[in-house]
Amino acid sequence: MTHLLEVRDLEVKFALRSGDITAIDGVSFTLNQGERLGIVGESGAGKSVTGFSIINLISKPGFISKGSIHFEGKCISDYTGSQMRKIRGNRIAMIFQDPMMTLNPVFTIGFQMIETLQAHRNISKADARAIALEKLRKVQIPSPEERLDQYPHELSGGMRQRIIIAISLLADPAIIIADEPTTALDVTIQAEIMDLLQELCETENMALILITHDLGVVSQVTEKIAVMYAGKIIEFGPTDKVVHTPVHPYTIGLIGSIPGATVPGEELRQIPGMMPTLSNIPEGCAFNPRCELCEPICTQKTPELEEKQNGILAACHMK
């Protein structure tokens, strides 16, 4: 069976004056219809770049240097700009991190919704408006008719993120890529938005790629998890297994640092040190300077991602 989305050996580089820097190094994963995948990692691990490279919107000077991305059986990483445009916002929608900055301040909500629909379908304004209203209702926005004529600055952050979710629903996409959708919001609203996203994916049978640094959020919403470190996936598997029986020392550390995952009263664990910068990744396993289990081989040979136990893939020499 072909997967809905298949990312194979993806490599993304940034062309800098001092030379190319590899931001993503050989990332592969698959996503099936209606499946929810979480990509987890610290900032700079390459999770956002992975998300953006799927719809080929990596910020300059980044570019895909190797690998392929297949969507619905077609290789979209080879698509031209205008072919790709038919995918973006239509088959694959994206939700950005900060709803305060995502909507254009000088246009009304209605304008920004209707133009999205009209970019993908030959549809009248009135029809587009009706669809926009329907989607606003789906994301449980009170008095949606009024919202259409409002400007973004008249709405709260949580409200705006709902509107952005509604915009991504407009064309009934197959995949939604949500890049830290709740990081910029208040804690109370975060849960509401996550619940909404999960519910929508289930009812509409949409696949979700949730990019976040928050393992807690991922564990509640997604079915599979990919943990990224320094541009590589270092652990991949079903969510409950990865959360309860993690393999890679980095994942173990990550889970240990979640409040609530440890026994009450016990100190929260911390991973010592910091993730290396992309221009300065150590030989061998990128995690080796911070790893408790580090052995000579870890500083010489880069570990491959391979099946370790009960369906979890991990990249570690020691396990």
Least separation in angstroms between CB 222 and another protein: 21
Residue 105 or 264: the one with the smaller Cβ distance to another protein is 105
User: What residue ranges bind another protein (CB under 8 A)?
Assistant: 55, 57, 59, 81, 85-90, 93-94, 96, 98, 101-107, 115-116, 119-120, 151-153, 164, 167
Nearer to another protein, 53 or 219 (CB): 53
Q: Are 167 and 5 in contact (CB under 8 A)?
A: no
The single-letter code of the amino acid at 36 is R
Residue among 84 and 189 whose Cβ is closer to another protein: 84
Using CA atoms, how far apart are residues 34 and 25, in angstroms rounded to an integer?
27
Nearest by Cα to 227 from 42, 33, 24, 30: 42
Instruction: CB nearer to another protein: give 93 or 255.
Output: 93
Question: Measured from the CB atom, is 112 or 239 closer to another protein?
Answer: 112
- Shortest distance, position 90 Cβ to another protein, whole Å: 5
Q: Is the distance from CB of 178 to CB of 211 less than 8 angstroms?
A: yes
The DSSP-derived string for the chain is ---SEEEEEEEEEEEETTEEEEEEEEEEEEE-TT-EEEEE--TTSSHHHHHHHHTT-PPTTEEEEEEEEEETTEEGGG--HHHHHHHBTTTEEEE-S-HHHHS-TTS-HHHHHHHHHHHHS---HHHHHHHHHHHHHHTT-SSHHHHHTS-GGGS-HHHHHHHHHHHHHTT--SEEEEESTTTTS-HHHHHHHHHHHHHHHHHHT-EEEEEES-HHHHHHH-SEEEEEETTEEEEEEEHHHHHHS--SHHHHHHHHTSTTTSPTTSPPP---S-PPPGGGPPSSSTTGGG-TT--GGGGTSPPP-EEEETTEEE--S--
> What's the closest the beta carbon of residue 179 comes to another protein, in angstroms?
10
Q: Residue 242 CB, nearest distance to another protein (Å)?
A: 28
Q: 15 or 57: whose CB is closer to another protein?
A: 57
Q: What's the min distance (Å) between Cβ of 104 and another protein?
A: 4
Comparing CB distances to another protein, the nearer of 37 and 171 is: 171
What is the smallest separation between the CB atom of 299 and another protein, expressed in angstroms? 38
Least Å distance, CB 139 to another protein, is 16
Give me 263's structure tokens. 């026994």
Which is nearer to another protein, 83 or 309 (by Cβ)?
A: 83
